[in-house]
């Protein structure tokens, strides 16, 4: 996850004491459970969200942030699933209140959470416009279900979205990017549009309140931690809906790189240099991930 690279740089919201192992999620088999844990047992195949520490042979996870792998899901997909898909789902479903037939604009649509948002939006019956920065990334966005894919480098994002929506604008925007694209994306929303800010890969934007007022728009943040701490009921419903989508074949996570544990630094570099499409997975077992040359 891109947040791992931010945490390693010391710029994340939570700052673990050095030295620490990065890795905000993992998948594997449970070795032991704590007192009072009843829904999980040793030997279970699970995926988990972590505070950090996933780049290791063993990791500690909260029981409430650990889920059995879905049927047909292997460890690599499990390690790439929980953070991206849960984050995208709670943002779109509960914060953005996306409805079938509405238009969802997804920024950074070729990243882990971006592709998750594209697939989830389609599963919910929305029209999805995915925005990315290269032909290769746009191809992945289309392959994963986007109705339209636009390059925000070649042409103003707002102009493309308004053209595709006959001047009406998008109903919901999912933004894991931030930075200078924020202004154009906000202007891409129509009347009553909902802007969901999820991340700041490209920088922390400032919200121009006047543009919210003019078209009755709203801008809000979405944090997976909030749902874990304050609304575990909605988090559980999100995971249940994701399980249904996965069983139906609607969700197909992309893992563009699988690297061995000793290549953890290269894994982070792939993210910071924006060379990954979808997710990067670090394998503990060397036989699972033959070493890859740097791109």
The answer to whether residue 13 sits within a structural domain is yes
Total domains, the chain = 2
pTM recorded for the entire structure: 0.91
Q: Is residue 133 part of a domain?
A: yes
> Which of the listed residues 223, 242, 263 is the one where a domain comes to its end?
223
Q: Do 199 and 260 sit in the same domain of this protein?
A: no
For residue 234, tell me if it sits in a domain. no
Residue 13, pLDDT above cutoff 90: no
Tens digits of residue pLDDT in 214-264: 899 999 999 888 898 899 999 999 999 999 999 999 999 999 999 999 999
- Whether 271 is covered by a domain: the verdict is yes
Mean pLDDT rounded to a whole number for the chain: 90
Q: Cα–Cα distances in Å, from 212 out to 157, 204, 285?
A: 18, 18, 50
My answer on whether 65 and 102 are in the same domain is no
Tell me: do 77 and 113 sit in the same domain.
Answer: no
Containing 10, the helix (H) or strand (E) segment is none
pLDDT at 149: 97
Residue 77 and residue 112 in one domain: no
215 and 283 together in one domain = no
Here the CATH number for the domain that contains residue 258 is: 3.90.180.10
Instruction: Please tell me the least confidently modeled range out of 37-46, 98-107, 132-141, 206-215.
Output: 206-215
pLDDT digits (tens, 9 = 90+) for 71-94: 999 999 999 999 999 999 999 999
Same domain (yes/no): 121, 205? yes
CA 276 to chain centre: 13
Domain co-membership, 9 together with 124? no
Mean pLDDT, residues 28-51: 95
> Can you tell me the distance from the alpha carbon of 24 to that of 240, in angstroms, rounded to the nearest whole number?
21
H helix or E strand, kind and range, residue 66: strand 66-68
Give pLDDT tens digits for 97-107: 999 999 999 99
Picking from 96, 107, 84, the residue whose alpha carbon sits closest to that of residue 25 is 84
CATH code of the domain containing 168: 3.40.50.720
235 lies in some domain: no
**Domain of 137?**
96-223
Rounded CA-CA distance 33/117 in Å is 32
Q: What is the pLDDT of residue 14?
A: 79
Asked if 113 and 198 count as a contact pair (C-beta separation under 8 A), the reply is yes
Query: What's the chain's length in residues?
Result: 295
Whether residues 205 and 259 share a domain: the answer is no
Question: Domain boundary at 205, 223, 241, which?
Answer: 223
Taking the C-alpha atoms of 230, 11, 195 and 239 in order, what is their torsion angle to the nearest 10 degrees?
-40
The pLDDT of residue 201 is 66
Q: Is residue 245 part of a domain?
A: no
- At 288 the pLDDT is 44
Specify if 70 maps to a domain.
yes
pLDDT of residue 287: 44
Kindly state whether residues 104 and 212 are assigned to the same domain.
yes
Same structural domain for residues 183 and 267?
Answer: no
Residue 26 counted as domain residue: yes
**Are 69 and 178 members of one domain?**
no
176 and 126 assigned to the same domain: yes
Q: How many CA atoms lie within 13 A of 87 on its CB side?
A: 28
Q: In what order do the strands lie in the sheet with 25-29?
A: 25-29, 45-49, 66-68
């Amino acid at each position: 996850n891109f947040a791992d690279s931010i945490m390693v740089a010391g710029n994340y919201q939570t700052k673990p004491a050095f030295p620490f192992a990065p890795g905000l999620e993992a998948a594997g088999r449970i070795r032991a459970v704590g007192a009072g844990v009843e829904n999980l047992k040793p030997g279970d195949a699970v995926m988990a969200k972590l505070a950090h520490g996933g780049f290791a042979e063993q990791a500690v996870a909260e029981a409430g942030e650990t889920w059995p792998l879905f049927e047909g899901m292997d460890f690599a997909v499990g390690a790439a699933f929980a953070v991206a898909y849960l984050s995208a789902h709670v943002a779109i479903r509960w914060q953005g209140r996306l409805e079938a037939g509405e238009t969802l604009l997804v920024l950074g649509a070729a990243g882990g959470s971006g592709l998750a948002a594209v697939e989830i939006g389609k599963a919910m019956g929305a029209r999805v416009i995915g925005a990315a920065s290269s032909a290769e990334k746009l191809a992945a966005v289309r392959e994963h279900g986007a109705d339209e894919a636009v390059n925000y480098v070649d042409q103003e994002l707002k102009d493309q979205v308004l053209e595709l929506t006959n001047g009406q604008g998008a109903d919901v925007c999912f933004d894991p990017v931030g930075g200078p694209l924020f202004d154009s994306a906000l202007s891409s929303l129509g009347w009553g549009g909902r802007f969901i800010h999820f991340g700041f890969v490209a920088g922390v934007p400032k919200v121009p309140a006047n543009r919210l007022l003019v078209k009755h728009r709203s801008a809000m943040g979405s944090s997976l931690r909030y749902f874990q701490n304050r609304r575990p009921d909605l988090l559980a419903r999100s995971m249940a809906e994701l399980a249904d989508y996965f069983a139906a074949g609607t969700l197909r996570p992309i893992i563009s790189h699988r690297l061995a544990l000793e290549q953890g630094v290269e894994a982070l570099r792939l993210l910071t240099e924006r060379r990954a499409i979808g997710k990067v997975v670090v394998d503990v077992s060397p036989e699972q991930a033959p070493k890859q040359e740097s791109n």
